[in-house]
Each structure stands twice: as C-alpha cells, then as structure tokens.
Amino acid sequence: MDWLKSIIDSLPIGAISDILGEITIWWGQLVKDVPPADLPMYAYLGGVIIVLILWLLVARILPRPLGGMSWMMLFAVLLAPGTALGDPSVIAPASISVVYAIMMKDTAGAIANMLPILVVLVVGLFVGFVWQLIRGAFESSLDKARSRTADDAQATAQLTTGNYLADDAGLSESFDHSALSSKSELAKNELSKPKAEVSLKKDRK
C-alpha cells in the first residue's frame, strides 16, 4: 500500500481542483440554452471528457505502457456504444447494460453487453501499439541523425587540427636532430683534446 500512498501524494491535487473549477464554470455556460431532453446526453459526454482529461494526469505518473493501457480501458468502459434497456433503438453506454445484467444475475446478458467494450479496447490497444512503433522508429532515426552529425563534427575537427599537429611534429623532429648532432660534435671535441695533450707531454720527455 506504500506505492498507492506515494502515487496519491505525488498527484497535483491543487492543479486538479483548479481545472475542475474552470470546467464547471465552462460547462454551466455551455448547457445554459440546452433543451431538457438533451441535457442527460450532454452531461454524460461532458463528465466522460472530464474524467479522461483528469486520468491523463494519473497516467503520466504510472509506467509508460501501464498508463496508456489504463487510459484506453477507461475510454472503452465509458464510451463503448450499446443499446438502451427499454428501447433497443436508442444508443446508450454498454457499461450500463453490463452493470444492470450483473445486478440481475444475467451472465449471458453481461457477456453479450461486454462485447462492444472488448472490441473498442482491442482496437484502441492496436492503434496505441502502432503509434508506439511509429514513435519509436521516429525517435531512433532522430538519434541516428544526431550521432551522425556528432561524428561528422568530430571528423571535421580532427581534419582541421591535423595539419597543425603535423607541422609541430616536423619542427620537434628537426629540433631533436639538430640537438643530437650538436651534442655529438661536442662529445667528439672533448674526446680529442686529452689525446693531444698526452702526445705533447710525451714529446717533451
């Protein structure tokens, strides 16, 4: 239950209350001139839209596949079409018929009324899966393009700095050769001096 408490604590309660207040004001202005016969349909659709929008805030907290699947399940339960109980020609939410059949202990009726919900859920999950594939391919192509541009920038930087490095290497090699030659000449001169002094001493004797 700790994870549930952490989810509840991380919910933006203040933002949700502000959104609900604004939606209530907007809804009152919208249904001000609606006929009483159409008011239940408007109220149901408005309530469904509010619930789905608020569930987006919860779905962002949940893990990525679980949040989208929960939102799609809620959409299917609330908006799957069915028939009214008294008049089959009138469209009504299928979830109401399922709840009524369960209360009446009609298993066959509950399964039959649950079929539209399952169809909407499967179609929504398939569309979401295709969308995730397209999104993943697009993101991978963007990552490859970014890596290519980074590699090209690095290669151009190496090409521009390579000439200076080669020139510096040539100068250092020439300096080393000259230093070595000068050292070798000094060593030869020092070795030749004592021999001359020894020969002069022998002649004097």
Q: Which two tokens stand for residue 198?
A: 């020894």
Q: What does the alpha-carbon distance between residue 112 and residue 90 come to, in Å, rounded to a whole number?
A: 17
Phi, psi of 82 (to 5 degrees): -145, -165
For residue 90, pLDDT beyond 50: yes
43-54: average pLDDT: 84
> In this structure, which amino acid lies at residue 132?
Q
19-47: average pLDDT: 78
Contact 82, 89 (CB under 8 A): no
For residue 146, pLDDT beyond 50: yes
Alpha helices, DSSP H, located in the chain: 2-10, 13-30, 39-61, 64-79, 94-103, 107-204
Kindly calculate the radius of gyration of the chain based on its CA atoms and give it in whole angstroms.
42
Q: What does the alpha-carbon distance between residue 169 and residue 191 come to, in Å, rounded to a whole number?
A: 33
Nearest to 76 by CA among 106, 104, 42, 51: 51
Nearest to 131 by CA among 52, 80, 71: 71
The model's pTM is 0.55
DSSP annotation string for 48-80: HHHHHHHHHHHHHHS-HHHHHHHHHHHHHHHH-
Percent of the chain whose pLDDT exceeds 90 = 2
Residue with tokens 């004097």: 204
Confidence of residue 60 (pLDDT cuts 50, 70, 90): confident
